[in-house]
């Protein structure tokens, strides 16, 4: 099980005609878990069916059909999760309730789930680490006030908040941030942190009443959730596999720090607020993301998004400029040798990949045809139970 998590495990209840995990008292003074996991694997041409069957046997499915956007389709997984494919691409998605089912009903820890997928060649594409704390020093309103007063040190420059029932950006704050959510980071970035009222969310979604370590109902519970996607998710998954689920605390501390408002030194020298150190600890860990390199694929995407509208407008509205671009400017431009080598290598790699994929598809068709012929011959041959044929 995840560190610092208490509650019932190994039991399954019935609701609405299907099995669902019983609610668990996760709201101890501080609980730490993974709230969302998404793994993907591509190029599963020859072993696609075997991979699907193995995932379903391990994490259970009712074989209910699921159809998602972008052409993905599949079945349910771990009650509230989903296993989808598109061509030879496999995606296993475990939202919060699915992780609760895996954790308490199947008895698999968060580290075990990550190890299971990474050992089979999958890559983490989304990973949400969550800390639930009953420390009254922190709530969403405190977080946004600290940011407005420039008492935070954060890797994200974009902050915004969502009061309950209102549109984002409205300066109407509920008392103690009840039902409120604060976001640090862009929705499209690889890392994004959320701070919201977990007590209100649990009451609205499941009716679950969180308890403290003495079995008493909590009056305050705040969740700090760090969402990692793409390369950041893969890096954090590897860190959890090496150091355990507790590495989420120093990673959060490295991403965001609330500073002591009484410390008037420069921001990089100011001490961290003591209540924040009580929650995330004193250790700081930063995920070192790989530097983005402009490959030909990225260049094409950038040209399609940023350059093509200008070129089309030039061709239709200013044909003289378009003619100068095509006939004069481009022929006179000298192509850098490094760029030429990069694009030649890209063309060669694309051709090799296409040839290898076509060969795999041809072999798979031949194997399927051979298996079909053998099955027909086996069905047509007499057996010891076929008395008339004997």
Same structural domain, 73 and 152: yes
Does some domain include residue 170?
yes
Burial of 190 (C-beta count, 10 Å sphere; 0-12/13-18/19+) = middle
Report phi then psi at 152, rounded to 5: -130, 150
Asked if pLDDT for residue 142 goes beyond 80, the answer is: yes
Q: What is the mean pLDDT of the chain?
A: 82
Q: Is the Cα dihedral 269, 240, 184, 212 positive or negative?
A: negative
Question: What is the predicted pLDDT for the residue at 22?
Answer: 38
Same structural domain, 53 and 137: yes
Is residue 150 a contact partner of residue 266, using CB atoms and an 8 Å limit?
A: no
Does some domain include residue 169?
yes
Tokens in use for 141? 């309103």
Does some domain include residue 163?
yes
Report phi then psi at 108, rounded to 5: -105, 130
| Listed range (74-78, 94-98, 150-154, 199-203) with the worst mean pLDDT | 199-203
Does some domain include residue 264?
yes
Cα–Cα distance, 157 to 140 (Å, whole number): 17
Same structural domain, 180 and 207: yes
Average pLDDT over residues 283-298: 75
Does some domain include residue 364?
no
* Percent share of the chain, pLDDT over 90: 38
Closest CA to 189 of 224, 230, 129: 230
Average pLDDT over residues 261-286: 88
| Listed range (13-27, 138-152, 214-228, 313-327) with the worst mean pLDDT | 13-27
pLDDT band at 351 (very low <50, low <70, confident <90, very high): confident
State pLDDT tens for residues 355-369. 888 888 888 778 777
Name 39's bridge partners. Answer: 92, 124
Same structural domain, 230 and 352: no
Same structural domain, 143 and 212: yes
Residue identified by tokens 């040209």 is 303
Parallel/antiparallel/unpaired status of strands 159-162 and 73-77? unpaired
| Listed range (96-100, 265-269, 315-319) with the worst mean pLDDT | 265-269
Asked if pLDDT for residue 4 goes beyond 60, the answer is: no
Rounded alpha-carbon distances, angstroms, from residue 316 to 173, 304, 329: 51, 17, 18
DSSP per-residue codes, 327-386: IIIHHHSPPPHHHHHHHHHHHHHHHHHHHHHHHHHHHHHHHHHHHHHHHHHHHHS--TT-
Does some domain include residue 337?
yes
Same structural domain, 179 and 215: yes
pTM, 2 dp: 0.69
- The alpha-helical segments, DSSP class H, found in 126-230 are 140-148, 198-205
Closest CA to 62 of 50, 49, 48, 78: 78
Cα–Cα distance, 26 to 223 (Å, whole number): 12
Does some domain include residue 375?
no
Is residue 192 a contact partner of residue 36, using CB atoms and an 8 Å limit?
A: no
Same structural domain, 165 and 262: yes
Same structural domain, 73 and 219: yes
Same structural domain, 205 and 338: no
Is residue 83 a contact partner of residue 38, using CB atoms and an 8 Å limit?
A: no
Burial of 376 (C-beta count, 10 Å sphere; 0-12/13-18/19+) = exposed
Q: Which domain holds residue 317?
A: 299-356
Domain boundary among the residues 245, 280, 315 is at 280
Same structural domain, 105 and 148: yes
Asked if pLDDT for residue 389 goes beyond 90, the answer is: no
Asked if pLDDT for residue 94 goes beyond 80, the answer is: yes
Asked if pLDDT for residue 30 goes beyond 80, the answer is: no
Same structural domain, 325 and 247: no
Does some domain include residue 5?
no
Higher-confidence residue of 381 and 374: namely 374
Asked if pLDDT for residue 19 goes beyond 60, the answer is: no
Asked if pLDDT for residue 82 goes beyond 70, the answer is: yes
Domain boundary among the residues 223, 250, 280 is at 280
Q: How many domains does the chain divide into?
A: 2
Same structural domain, 54 and 125: yes
State pLDDT tens for residues 170-223. 557 777 778 889 999 988 889 999 999 888 888 877 777 777 767 778 888 899
């Amino acid at each position: 099980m995840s560190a610092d998590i208490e509650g019932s495990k190994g039991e399954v209840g019935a609701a609405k005609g299907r099995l669902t995990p019983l609610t668990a008292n996760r709201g101890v003074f501080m609980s730490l878990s993974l709230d969302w996991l998404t793994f993907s694997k591509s190029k599963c041409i020859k072993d696609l069916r075997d991979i699907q069957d193995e995932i379903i046997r391990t994490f259970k499915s009712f074989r209910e059909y699921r159809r998602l956007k972008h052409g993905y389709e599949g079945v349910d997984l771990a009650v509230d999760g989903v296993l989808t494919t598109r061509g030879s691409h496999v995606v296993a998605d475990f939202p919060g309730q699915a992780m609760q089912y895996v954790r308490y009903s199947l008895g698999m820890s968060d580290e075990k789930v990550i190890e299971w997928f990474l050992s089979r060649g999958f890559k983490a594409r989304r990973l949400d680490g969550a800390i639930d704390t009953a420390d009254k020093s922190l709530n969403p309103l405190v977080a946004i006030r600290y940011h407005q007063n420039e008492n935070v040190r954060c890797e994200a420059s974009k902050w915004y908040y969502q009061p309950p029932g209102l549109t984002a950006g409205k300066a109407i704050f509920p008392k103690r941030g009840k039902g409120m959510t604060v976001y640090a980071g862009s929705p499209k970035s690889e890392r994004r942190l959320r701070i919201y009222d977990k007590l209100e969310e649990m009451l609205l979604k499941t009716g679950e009443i969180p308890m403290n370590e003495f079995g008493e109902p909590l009056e305050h519970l705040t969740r700090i959730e760090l969402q990692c996607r793409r390369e950041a998710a893969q890096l954090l998954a590897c860190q959890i596999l090496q150091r355990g689920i507790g590495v989420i605390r120093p990673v959060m501390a490295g991403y965001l720090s609330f500073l002591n408002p009484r410390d008037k030194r420069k921001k990089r020298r100011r001490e961290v607020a003591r209540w924040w150190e009580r929650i995330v600890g004193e250790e700081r860990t930063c995920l070192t993301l790989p530097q983005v390199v402009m490959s030909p694929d990225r260049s094409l995407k950038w040209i399609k998004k940023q350059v093509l509208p200008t070129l089309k407008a030039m061709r239709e509205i200013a044909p003289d400029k378009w003619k100068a671009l095509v006939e004069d400017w481009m022929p006179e431009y000298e192509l850098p040798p490094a760029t030429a080598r990069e694009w030649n290598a890209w063309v060669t790699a694309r051709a090799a990949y296409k040839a290898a994929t076509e060969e795999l598809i041809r072999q798979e068709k031949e194997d399927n045809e051979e298996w079909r012929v053998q099955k027909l011959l086996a069905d047509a041959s007499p057996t010891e139970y076929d008395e008339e044929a004997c």
